[in-house]
Amino acid sequence: MTTLFVGLGRMGLPMARRYAAVHDVTLHDADAAALRRAAVELGATALKDLTDLAQIDVVILMVPSSRVVEAILEGAGSPGGTGLLGRLEPGGLVIDMSSSEPDSTQRLAAAAAERGVGYVDAPVSGGVAKAVSGELSIMVGGAGADVDRAMTHLQPMAGAITRVGPSGAGHAAKALNNLLSATNIAAAAEVLAVAGRFGIDPAVMIDVVNASTGRSQASEVKYPRHILTGTYDSGFAFDLMVKDIGIATALAQTHEVPLEVTGAAAHTAREAAAHHPEDHTELARYVAARAGTDLRSRSERRTDTDTEDA
C-alpha cells in the first residue's frame, strides 16, 4: 500500500515524521524547498507535481482549507482539470486531516463513493507540540468501513481517536471545538483582567482557576506557556482559528442555534485577529488591552524591568 501525504507545514511535517516511522510514504507540498528538506529528512519519495502521480492507494491531506482540498482532489487549475480523486483506483482511501468545511467534505465524500473510493474526515487538535509527540486528538467522520480502514494510518499520529459520526462530522466537531477554545481564552482573559485590577497576580489567579471549577485547556496549557509569559507563540495561526470559528458559526446558523455566549467570543476573536494576526493566543492580549491590563505574570514583568535597567 502506497500513501501520499500532502501538506508539510508546521503541523503537517511533524505528523508526516510520525507517519513515516511506521508506513512508507510519498510526500508533496506546494513549497518545493520544504518538500526537498522533508524528503531528505524522512528518506521518502518527493512528488513535485501531483499530475505526475503514479499508483497511490491512500491520500492524506493536511492543508489550509477546503478550497485547497477541492483543488487537489478535483483538479481546479490543473491540466485537464483532473485531480487526485479522478486518478485513485476503486478501493483507494482519502483521509482529510485539514480543518475543512463539513458541506464540502460531504460533497467530496459522495463523489469519492461514486468511484468506489473511501473518504474520511479526520481533523486534529493539540497543536504543534502534540503533533511532534504523536499525541494528537483526532476526531473522525465517515462511513464505518472507511473509518476502520483509516485507523492504521491515524494511529501513528494520535494520542486519542474519537469516532464522531458520518461524513463531515469530524470537521464539524473540530470547528465547534475551536469556537469553544476561543471562548475559553477570551473568558479567562476577562477574569484575569478583573483579578489584576484587584491586585491579584495573573499567575496566581491561573493557579486558583486550575485548582478549581473554572479550569480549561486554555487555563491549564495556553495561559502558563504562551500568555502569562508574554510570548504568544503557540504555533497555531490566528487566521486559521478565525476560519474554524466561521465554520462553527455557520453551522449554528444553519441549524438555528443562537450563539449568545460563544457568538460574542467569535466577534471578539475576529476583531483581535485584525489587530494581532500572528498567533491565536493573541486573543488574550487583545482582551486585556481593551481592559487596560497586562496578563503577564509579575515575575515576567519584573524580568523586563530588570533587562531595561541593565
* Cell (9 digits) for 105: 467534505
| Of 53, 127, 136, 128, residue with least CA distance to 89 | 53
How far apart are alpha carbons 103 and 70 in whole angstroms? 12
Please give the C-alpha separations between residue 171 and each of 108, 124, 206, 274, in angstroms, as whole numbers: 13, 9, 31, 25
Sign, Cα dihedral of 77, 82, 88, 94: positive
Please give the C-alpha separations between residue 257 and each of 199, 252, 254, in angstroms, as whole numbers: 39, 5, 8
Annotation marks residue 243 as catalytic: no
Please give the C-alpha separations between residue 135 and each of 18, 48, 154, 205, in angstroms, as whole numbers: 10, 29, 11, 29
Catalytic pick among 130, 174, 222, 243: 174
Judged by phi (left if over 0) then psi (alpha if -120 to 50, else beta), residue 201 lies in: beta
Q: Nearest 5°: phi and psi at 166? A: -75, -175
| Of 99, 168, 177, 110, residue with least CA distance to 140 | 168
Q: Where are the alpha helices (DSSP H) in 199-237?
A: 202-210, 217
How far apart are alpha carbons 126 and 28 in whole angstroms? 23
- 3 state SS for 90-134: CCCEEEECCCCCHHHHHHHHHHHHHCCCEEEECCEECHHHHHHHC
Q: Nearest 5°: phi and psi at 161? A: -125, 125
For 235, which DSSP code? Answer: S
Catalytic (active-site) positions: 174
